[in-house]
Amino acid sequence: EMCQIWQTKSVNEMTPAEIETFFSRWSQFSWVHLTGGELFMRRDFEDVVAAILHANRRLYLLNFPTTGWFGDRTVALVERILRSRVGRLMVTISIDGPPAVHEQMRGLPGSWQRAIDTYRRLRGIRKRNFQVVVGMTLLAKNAGLVDDVIAAIRQEVPGFERTDLHLNIGHE
């Protein structure tokens, strides 16, 4: 029920070299938000991030969402980014409901636990310029479940606060 962009064949995406050329010419941007479905489905995602960081050395904020499905790649990339000169990095782990609702909406068994595991691992990275949050996209089906999501996450991640959750409004 959530974003199905991953089922669409990618066409005309910018290459890492094209992205680096763009940011070399337009280096005044202080905030870059990467989006487009699960970014780690893109085989060269790490190269895309490297191109942005290389060309835009004054970047204040880089942020991107992820489902958390690719935990090892996510943690490794975050650690690599934090060794660079990025001013601030924010990663959002997408969770759409308590476990059963999340998995129903994502259509992928195990997606709740992978998201939670990746979130937990990223919370363990203690850097002043890094923040990881949970993002919940509100739809009619889950808008009444915010408190349930917070409670479910707290069972898995002690210390999770309401301020660790940000909300998106779903649209088509």
Output the pLDDT for position 56: 87
Output the pLDDT for position 171: 72
Rounded CA separation 94/127 (Å) = 21
Each residue's pLDDT tens digit in the chain (172 positions)?
555 554 566 668 899 999 999 999 988 889 999 987 799 999 999 999 999 999 988 899 999 999 999 999 999 999 999 998 789 999 999 999 999 999 999 888 999 999 999 999 999 999 999 999 999 999 999 999 999 999 999 999 999 999 999 999 977 6
The neighbouring-strand residues paired with 92 are 65, 133
Q: Which two tokens stand for residue 104?
A: 């129903």
- 28 φ/ψ sector (left φ>0, alpha ψ -120 to 50, else beta): alpha
Output the pLDDT for position 5: 52
Output the pLDDT for position 172: 66
Rounded CA separation 66/119 (Å) = 10
Rounded CA separation 140/132 (Å) = 26
For the chain, what's the residue count?
172
Q: Which two tokens stand for residue 49?
A: 């991030």
3-state secondary structure of 148: helix
Output the pLDDT for position 39: 93
Are 124 and 137 in contact, with CB atoms under 8 Å apart? no
